[in-house]
Amino acid sequence: MIIEEIRNELFRMQDLKYRDFHSKLIPTVEKDTIIGVRTPPLRKFAKQIGDREDISVFLEQLPHTYFDENQLHAFLISQEKDFERCVGEVERFLPFVDNWATCDQMSPKVFRKYRRELSGYIRKWITCGQTYPVRFAIGMLMEHFLDEDFDGVYPKMVSEVHSGEYYVNMMIAWYFATALAKQYDAVLPYLEEQRLAPWTHNKAIQKSIESRRITPEQKAYLKSLKVVAK
């Protein structure tokens, strides 16, 4: 069985010190479900098995038992070259994503060639109300729609996400910090008009000030826009 083969290989690559360290960074995941495989060998393993005829057996076996299996799953999806197949696998996997690391590791390269088609799926994910699909949608907007495909509708979509989830609000802040570095004039009004929740507003400013892509003059002005969080 491919699932048993994969699990045996993951345990062969286990690094217990890395597991102990990494488990502190992903508090939503139980430590005993983390094998402890570092990212570089996990990516390499994904490339080795990605073309196996029976890899679909692993991809369809959800939910996985181990965090590292979820990470491997994210890498396998990310290297899928057919857009329709890739987005189908993303949609099947997203409901089972239970942590920020797996969510953020999933970055399909094929999406770069199909941004128009991708935008429709993003609109669906960002309004679904589930923590990690929403976070993933915002991450895709940040990755693919802040350069030549930027449109003012996208920061508006992100600003309209209202959540009590830390991992959603942190991604909103990260999005606006990155947007300020790339589309400063277009997104600055969201902070000037205080269109984000106070915590998210201040976190976006904090992350912007830490960026080397923001000028000293811009940083000084952004500091003046901080609000008192209630």
Q: Is residue 165 helix, strand or coil?
A: coil
Question: For residue 163, what are its two tokens?
Answer: 């959540």
Angle between helices 67-78 and 83-93 (to 10 degrees): 160
Q: Tens of pLDDT along 103-123?
A: 999 999 999 999 999 999 999
CA distance 128 to 140: 15
* Predicted confidence (pLDDT) at residue 230 exceeds the cutoff of 70: no
Please tell me the distance from the alpha carbon of residue 7 to that of residue 147, in angstroms, as a whole number.
40
Q: Is residue 1's pLDDT more than 90?
A: no
Domain ranges for the chain: 1-111, 114-230
User: What pLDDT does residue 202 have?
Assistant: 97
Return the number of other C-beta atoms located less than 10 Å from residue 113's C-beta.
Answer: 11
Which of residues 1 and 162 earns the better pLDDT score?
Answer: 162
What per-residue confidence (pLDDT) applies to 228? Answer: 85
The pLDDT value given to residue 72: 98
Q: Is residue 105 exposed (0-12), middle (13-18) or buried (19+ Cβ within 10 Å)? A: buried
- For residues 13 and 22, what is the distance between their CA atoms, to the nearest angstrom? 15
Q: How far apart are CA 185 and CA 83, in angstroms?
A: 33
- Pick the closest to residue 135 from 181, 103, 173 (CA basis): 103
Name the band, by pLDDT with cuts 50, 70 and 90, for residue 42.
very high
Structure tokens at 19: 């597991």
In this prediction, residues 144-157 reach a mean pLDDT of 97
Residue 44 and residue 120: Cα distance in Å, rounded? 31
Name which of 51, 57, 104 is nearest 82 in CA terms. Answer: 51
Q: For residue 229, what pLDDT band results from cuts at 50, 70 and 90? A: low
CA-CA-CA-CA torsion sign (196, 199, 202, 205): negative
- The C-alpha atoms of residue 160 and residue 150 are separated, in whole angstroms, by 17
Q: C-alpha angle with apex 72: 175 to 89, nearest 5 degrees?
A: 70
pLDDT tens digit string along 211-222?
Answer: 999 999 999 999
Average pLDDT, the chain: 97
pLDDT in tens, 74-100: 999 999 999 999 999 999 999 999 999
Task: Give the CATH number of domain 114-230.
Answer: 1.25.10.90
Above pLDDT 70, what percent of the chain? 99
Cβ proximity of 153 and 121 under 8 Å: no
pTM: 0.95
